[in-house]
């Protein structure tokens, strides 16, 4: 079975969906959860499922590289096959990301390449977009720019605010992230030369369709 480490900073609803998905499919196990925030609710979720947790809290006087070195050490203790970023709200240094080429996934709350970075729901509303969504992608050094594996779209309704729209997106995230973790754990999903393949077929720019 595929050993998965999940990195979180907050609520961990995607972590929960992945834990539940692993229970269903039995092809992967979440063997560790790491948070940069000691009060992240996702840590409580991990404890409920008897999953080991660690906190790697940033020191005010350390560089990004120093933090990432400590994070790397915490991850490697679990000997993972896959590292899953699930609402982990830190930018990772290139050197760190390169340790996990083809072995690290992220979920981002937009239809990438639209809206990398923060405040994606507000930006979609402000732009008057009629659709929005979430993307699961392999992580590469450039922020939110690795090859997309799977996207889910949701409509944007007149009168939506960040709360209503983000709730709709979250629901879709909980459907797509466990599916991608399952594909990876079944060795059906790989990244080669910066591109994502499912069952040896190149995945298009908008994700598997
Ligand atoms: C998710 O919506 C995820 O897409 C987003 O954080 C949320 C975490 O929710 N990630 C990012 O914004 C990454 N830049 P959760 O803690 O309930 O899974």
108 CA to centre of ligand 1 in angstroms: 7
Count CB-CB contacts under 10 A for residue 159.
Answer: 7
Rounded to whole angstroms, the Cα distance separating 46 from 18 reads: 11
Choose which residue among 90, 173, 176 to substitute to test ligand 1 binding: the one with the highest number of ligand atoms within 8 A of its C-beta.
Answer: 173
76 is in an annotated binding site: no
25 CA to centre of ligand 1 in angstroms: 23
DSSP state of 136: E
Choose which residue among 46, 84, 87 to substitute to test ligand 1 binding: the one with the highest number of ligand atoms within 8 A of its C-beta.
Answer: 87
Q: Annotated catalytic residue: which of 47, 108, 132, 137?
A: 108
10 CA to centre of ligand 1 in angstroms: 8
Question: For residues 48 and 37, is the Cβ–Cβ distance under 8 A?
Answer: no
* pTM of model > 0.90: yes
Cis (ω within 30 of 0) for the bond into 113?
yes
123 close to ligand 1 (CB < 6 Angstrom)? no
Rounded to whole angstroms, the Cα distance separating 142 from 201 reads: 24
64 is in an annotated binding site: yes
ipTM for the complex? 0.99
137 has catalytic annotation:
no
Q: What spatial distance separates the first Cα and last Cα of the chain, rounded to whole Å?
A: 26
> How would you write the pLDDT of the chain (209 residues) with one tens digit per residue?
999 999 999 999 999 999 999 999 989 999 999 999 999 999 999 999 999 999 999 999 999 999 999 999 999 999 999 999 999 999 999 999 999 999 999 999 999 999 999 999 999 999 999 999 999 999 999 999 999 999 999 999 999 999 999 999 999 999 999 999 999 999 999 999 999 999 999 999 999 98
């Amino acid at each position: 079975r595929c050993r998965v480490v999940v990195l979180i900073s907050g609520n961990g609803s995607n972590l929960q969906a992945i834990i539940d998905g692993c229970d269903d499919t039995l092809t992967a196990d979440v063997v560790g959860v790491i948070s940069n925030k000691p009060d992240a609710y996702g840590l409580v979720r991990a404890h409920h499922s008897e999953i080991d947790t660690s906190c790697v809290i940033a020191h005010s006087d350390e560089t990004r590289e120093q933090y990432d070195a400590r994070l790397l050490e915490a991850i490697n203790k679990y000997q993972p096959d896959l590292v899953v970023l699930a609402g982990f709200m830190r930018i990772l240094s290139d050197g760190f990301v390169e340790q996990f080429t083809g072995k690290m996934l992220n979920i981002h709350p937009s239809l990438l390449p639209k809206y990398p970075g923060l405040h994606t729901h507000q930006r979609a509303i402000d732009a008057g977009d009629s659709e929005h969504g979430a993307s699961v992608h392999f992580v590469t050094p450039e922020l939110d720019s690795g090859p997309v594996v799977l996207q889910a779209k949701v409509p944007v309704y007149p009168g939506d605010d960040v709360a209503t729209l983000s709730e709709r997106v979250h629901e879709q995230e909980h459907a797509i992230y466990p599916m991608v973790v399952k594909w990876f754990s079944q060795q059906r999903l790989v990244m080669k030369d910066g591109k994502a393949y499912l069952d040896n077929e190149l995945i298009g720019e908008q994700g598997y369709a």
